[in-house]
Structure 1
Amino acid sequence: MKFTVIGGTGLIGSQVVQKLNAAGHQASPAAPSTGVDLITGQGLDQALEGAEVVINLANSPTFDDASLDFFRTSMTNLLAAGERAGVRHQVILSIVGVDHVPQLDYYRAKTLQEELLRQGPTPYSIVRATQFFEFMDAVLSWTSDDKTVRLPATRIQPMASADVVDAVVEVATGDPLQGIHEVAGPDVFALDELGRVTLAAQKDDRPVVTDDRAGMFAVVTGDVLIAGPHAHLAPTHYRDWVQRAR
Structure 2
Amino acid sequence: MKFVVIGGTGLIGSQVVRGLRERGHEAVAAAPSTGVNTLTGEGLAEAVTGASVVVDVSNSPSFEDGPVLEFFATSTRNLLAAEAVAGVGHHVVLSVVGAEGLPESGYLRAKVAQHELVEGSSTPFTIVQATQFFEFVGGIADSGTEDGVVRMAPVSFQPIAGEDVARVVVEAAVAAPVNGRVEVGGPERFRMDEFFRAVLAARDDPRGVVTDPHARYFGTELTDRSLVPDDDAARGEIRYRDWPGRVPTAE
Query: Which of the five TM-score ranges fits, normalised by the shorter chain?
Result: over 0.9
* Partner Cα distance (1:98, 1:23) in 2: 31
8 Å contact from structure 2 (residues 64, 106) kept in 1? yes
Change (3 A) 1:41 1:243: closer
**2:126 maps to amino acid:** S
CA distance in 2, matches of 1:148, 1:6: 37
Partner of 2:218: 216
- 1:243 to 1:166, Cα distance in 2 relative to 1, 3 A: closer
Residue number in structure 1 paired with 2:6: 6
Aligned to 1:203: 204
TM-score by length of 1: 0.93
3-state SS, counterpart of residue 145 of structure 2: coil
Q: 2-side partners of 1:19 and 1:58: how far apart? A: 17
Return the letter of the residue paired with 1:84: V
For 1:101 and 1:213, the matched residues in 2 are separated by: 14
1:64 matched residue in structure 2: 64
**Could you say which residue in structure 2 is the equivalent of 1:189?**
190
1:23 maps onto 2:23 in alignment: yes
SS at match of 2:93: strand
Tell me how far apart the structure 1 counterparts of residues 176 and 247 of structure 2 sit (CA, whole Å). 35
Shift of 1:242: 5.9
Match of 2:142 in 1: 141
Which 10-residue stretch deviates more, 138-147 or 48-57? 138-147
Q: Deviation per CA, 1:12-34, whole angstroms, max 9, x where unpaired? A: 00000011112211101111101
Task: Give the AA of the match of 2:23.
Answer: A
Count of equivalent residues:
246
Alignment-derived partner of residue 45 in structure 1: 45
Tell me, what secondary structure is at the counterpart of 1:127?
A: strand
> Which whole-Å deviations, capped at 9, do the CAs of 1:82-126 have from their partners, x for residues lacking one?
111111100000111111111111111111111100111111111
Give the AA of the match of 1:35. G
- Give structure 1 stretches of 5+ with no counterpart: none
Contact 2:4-2:48 at 8 Å conserved across structures: yes
* 1:225 counterpart residue number: 227
Over residues 173-199 of structure 1, what are the superposed CA-to-partner deviations in whole Å (9 max), with x where a residue is unaligned? Answer: 010111111111122223222211211
Residue 109 (structure 2) aligns with: 108
1:27-176 to 2 correspondence within 5 Å? 27-66=27-66, 67-144=68-145, 147-176=148-177
Contact 2:144 / 2:150 at 8 angstroms: preserved in 1? yes
Post-superposition CA distance 1:211-235 (Å, at most 9, x none): 3335516522231221102201112
> Measured at CA, do residues 54 and 27 of structure 1 come closer, stay the same or move farther in structure 2, by a change above 3 Å?
same
**2:225 maps to amino acid:** D
Partner of 1:240: 242
C-alpha contact (below 8 Å) 2:135/2:245 kept by paired residues: no
Task: Give the superposition deviation at 1:245.
Answer: 4.8
Match of 1:6, as an amino acid?
I
Distance 1:25 1:243 in 2: 29
Q: Is the 8 A contact 1:125 1:176 kept in 2?
A: yes
Which runs of 5 or more structure 2 residues have no equivalent in the other structure?
none
CA distance in 2, matches of 1:19, 1:161: 13
Aligned mates of 1:218, 1:65 — CA distance in 2: 14
Q: Is the 8 A contact 1:154 1:218 kept in 2?
A: no
Preserved contact between residue 131 and residue 160 of structure 2 (Cα < 8 Å): yes
Offset, 1:205: 3.9
Structure 2 distance, partners of 1:96, 1:55, is: 18
Report the secondary structure of 2:164's partner residue: helix
Matched to 2:236, the amino acid is A
